[in-house]
Amino acid sequence: MTERRQSIHGEWSSRLAFILAATGSAVGLGNIWKFPYITGEYGGGAFVLVYLACIAVIGIPIMMAEVMIGRRGRQSPVNTMRTLATEEGHNPLWQYLGWAGVLSGFLILSFYSVVAGWAMAYVPRVASGMFTGTSPEKVASIFGDLIGDPERLLAWHTLFMGLTMIVVSRGVRSGLEQAVRILMPALFLLLVILVGYSLSAADFASGVRFLFAPDFSKLSWEGVLVAMGHAFFTLSLGMGAIMVYGSYLPSHASIAKTTIIIAGADTLVALLAGLAIFPLVFSHGLTPGAGPGLIFQTLPIAFGQMWGGAFFGFLFFILLSFAAWTSAISLIEPIVAWLVENRGLSRIKATVWAGGITWALGLGSLLSLNLWQDFKIIKWGILDFVDKLTTNVMLPLGGLAIAIFAAWIMSRESTEDELAIENPLFYQLWRFFVRYITPVAVVVVFLNAIGVIQVGKG
């Protein structure tokens, strides 16, 4: 392509701005909430080693492909896929891959906002000393009271969506970029402070051994598949966010180098979260395999027993809220970009429409925790159903389609031109992985997620 497109939404001011934004999209509740508890459930160090390998095999090749497609098209995911498919001489129906990503992000944000509201709700609770000296039963009761109260959940859900909409409405440089320039350094600083506290005040050595000393006797095939799946999902792949952020990436920036930095930063946050959490868990005689309740029920017990627990618990839940916020602004950006491009709306109006609909959809997830808890779709409540539909079905299929489009639909000339990788061997390696290895791995993750592949924990 002789002439580069320009995005009507603007560009990141620098490669660093894109790295901060894309890392902010990738770093979220999955790193600080989900990664520690699945590491605890599936054996610690061996699980982490497999997870790191999967980041390299699955995550980085697909992320490079998604950023490349986004920058090549310079539009919302829907319009980018239609434009590029037409240019390559293929059916413009590929635009529905863009729609699938936009819809995935839309649905994820609808329940993500509710869960992020839990993190925000815990900030004043921990800071006030509510958990100081409390029993495990009392901590569980506090969490149960929170999710059982629709009015309180509604207030936090509304506040979180409002904060997200304010950032997105201000545009690429004034909104998204300014937010991540503040939030991402603050997030890393908070993590380092919490790791430092664990180092000085807890059984840090046990936490390090659990995370980094692999014991493969504790790793099951189920754990391997969970590691593969989480490596894919933690980088925000297949939901349109990375594609639309890639459309704002300056032409001179190296996609390969940038992607590796983002994947590395995302992984570093997950490992730091583990180093902050597991020493506290071990030093207070708690179990690392506590499951999804590790953050909201197990950790508050530890914060309630330790010196300075109210202050450091406050920092931790601020950190969790920041991480959720940086991810949320990337989830709503694809649909806002489409509304601006295709409906002629101002950015503020597009954000109000997209945010308002997402907020309304979130009411279903919110009420499924209390007033509608007996209502089931198949066998799950609304929040769990939307979570499983997006995480287990829509995202892996979206990632698979991105790999196929980048490696089989786009011409070699187009991908070489856009990636602009100096070392031919590295380009060949990327092309081989994204054509053959990565799609097979994603299919395995998908089949396991929907229950076609059955594996046990032993």
Specify the length of the chain in residues. 458
Nearest to 236 by CA among 173, 323, 174: 323
Give the CA-trace dihedral at 40, 41, 46, 52, to 10 degrees: -80
What value, to the nearest 5°, has the Cα angle with vertex 339 and ends 334 and 343?
160
**What does the DSSP assignment read for 169-226?**
HT-IIIIIIHHHHHHHHHHHHHHHHHHHHHHHHS-HHHHHHHHHS--GGG--HHHHHH
240-270 tens-digit pLDDT: 899 999 999 999 999 999 999 999 999 999 8
Which CATH code for domain 15-449? 1.20.1740.10
Which of the residues in the chain have pLDDT under 50?
1-2, 456-458
Q: What is the pLDDT of residue 245?
A: 94
Give the burial class of 316: count Cβ atoms within 10 A of its Cβ; 0-12 exposed, 13-18 middle, 19 or more buried.
Answer: buried
DSSP structure string for 446-458 = HHHHTTSS-----
Please count the other Cβ atoms lying within 10 Å of the Cβ belonging to residue 313: 27
Q: How many CB atoms lie within 10 A of CB 17?
A: 22
CB 5 within 8 A of CB 333: no
Q: 10 Å Cβ neighbour count for 408? A: 11
Domain ranges across the chain: 15-449
The answer to whether residues 228 and 444 touch, using CB atoms and an 8 Å cutoff, is yes
Instruction: Pick the closest to residue 80 from 88, 89, 71 (CA basis).
Output: 71
d(CA 128, CA 39): 30
